[in-house]
Amino acid sequence: MSANALPVAAAPESPARRAVRSFFRHRLAVFGLVVILFFALAAILAPWIAPYDPLATSWSAIRKPPSAEHWLGTDENGRDVLSRVLFGARASMLAGVVSVLAAMLIGLPFGLLAGLAGGWVDSLIGRVADAMLSVPFLILAIALAAFLGPALENAMLAIAITAAPVFVRLARGLAMEARATDWAEAARALGNPPWRLAVVHVLPNIMAPLLVQATLAIAEAIIAEAALSFLGLGQQPPAPSWGSMLNSAQRFLTQAPWLAIFPGVAIFLVVLAFNLVGDGLRDALDPRSERR
């Protein structure tokens, strides 16, 4: 398809540079990156940029529509919605990033072990991953969070455990592929022990697909955290989180629709942004997937 568009390489360009260039050509992915940076800054700078204390209730400002003083209105306790959305970014971004990092920390060692060891170790790890993947993501996360008890840390742990098998599978497949290559053979022939082969040689070579998967997993984790908080299993009130804000907004749909709109827009934008960046990274990093 792009055979006639192949550039005539004058000076060889490093794969990393080519990936970065190809990523930035992807306008939507760059837009996604900007949105993520925006919300990351909002989360970090919330205490300084939020116009009000997110927990401060006010009897004179109960369920006021958006105005000059309160850009996004106030909620049923007179709290400023903009401040709560800004502080809510903390729970969502933290849960998304931390739970996916934890999922990788759980999933990668098992996946690499399965892919490199083979035999019964591989079948056992593979079966456990299969078993967990046979329960739909959100149902497993809800069950785990329910048994662990309602708290943001427990929700994050539940999401991490639920997301781990995807990384087990991915790392296993990639490790098996890598094991069969000549450079892995050479590394083994040079006397590298299996763990060194895994960590020093295989892991860096499979980072690209893992990064793509991780970005998409963050999008899923943020939705999951919002869902768990919506059900009261995540961030506990009065601490703000987008999911729990939506839950209480549901009771005031007729009187105060703005309460339901803004936290949802925030979740949607962040999830969309991570999905866009994930798609862009996949196109940029994976030479096998054709640019769409």
Given the rule CB under 8 A, which residues bind another protein? 1, 127-128, 130-132, 134-140, 142-144, 146-149, 219, 223, 226-227, 230-233, 246, 249-250, 253-254, 257, 260-261, 263-264, 267-268, 271-272, 275-276, 279, 292
Q: Where are the beta strands (DSSP E) in the chain?
A: none
Q: Compute the least distance from the CB of residue 19 to another protein, in Å.
A: 21
Alpha helices in 50-80 (DSSP H): none
Cβ distance to another protein smaller for residue 61 or 271: 271
Alpha-carbon distance of 223 to 116, in angstroms, equals 33
Secondary structure (3-state) at 73? coil
Q: Tokens at residue 262, please?
A: 């803004």
- Other C-beta atoms lying within 10 Å of the C-beta of residue 165: 26
Cβ distance to another protein smaller for residue 88 or 184: 88
- Interhelix angle 27-49/15-25, rounded to 10 degrees, is 80
Q: Compute the least distance from the CB of residue 292 to another protein, in Å.
A: 8
- Indicate the residue type of 268: F
Q: Compute the least distance from the CB of residue 207 to another protein, in Å.
A: 24
Cβ distance to another protein smaller for residue 110 or 230: 230
Q: Compute the least distance from the CB of residue 268 to another protein, in Å.
A: 6
Alpha-carbon distance of 159 to 86, in angstroms, equals 23
Cβ distance to another protein smaller for residue 69 or 130: 130
Cβ distance to another protein smaller for residue 87 or 137: 137
Cβ distance to another protein smaller for residue 160 or 178: 160
On the 0-12 / 13-18 / 19+ scale of CB atoms within 10 A, 23 is middle
Q: Compute the least distance from the CB of residue 186 to another protein, in Å.
A: 35
Q: Compute the least distance from the CB of residue 161 to another protein, in Å.
A: 10
Secondary structure (3-state) at 67? coil
Per residue, what are the HEC states of 100-123? HHHHHHHHHHHHHHHHHHCHHHHH
Alpha-carbon distance of 290 to 205, in angstroms, equals 20
Any idea what the Cα angle at residue 80 is, between residues 76 and 86, rounded to 5°?
125
Cβ distance to another protein smaller for residue 140 or 170: 140
Secondary structure (3-state) at 54? coil
Q: Tokens at residue 165, please?
A: 């098998």
Q: Compute the least distance from the CB of residue 123 to another protein, in Å.
A: 8
Q: Compute the least distance from the CB of residue 226 to another protein, in Å.
A: 6
Short-list 39, 29, 152, 146, CA closest to 85: 39
Cβ distance to another protein smaller for residue 142 or 198: 142
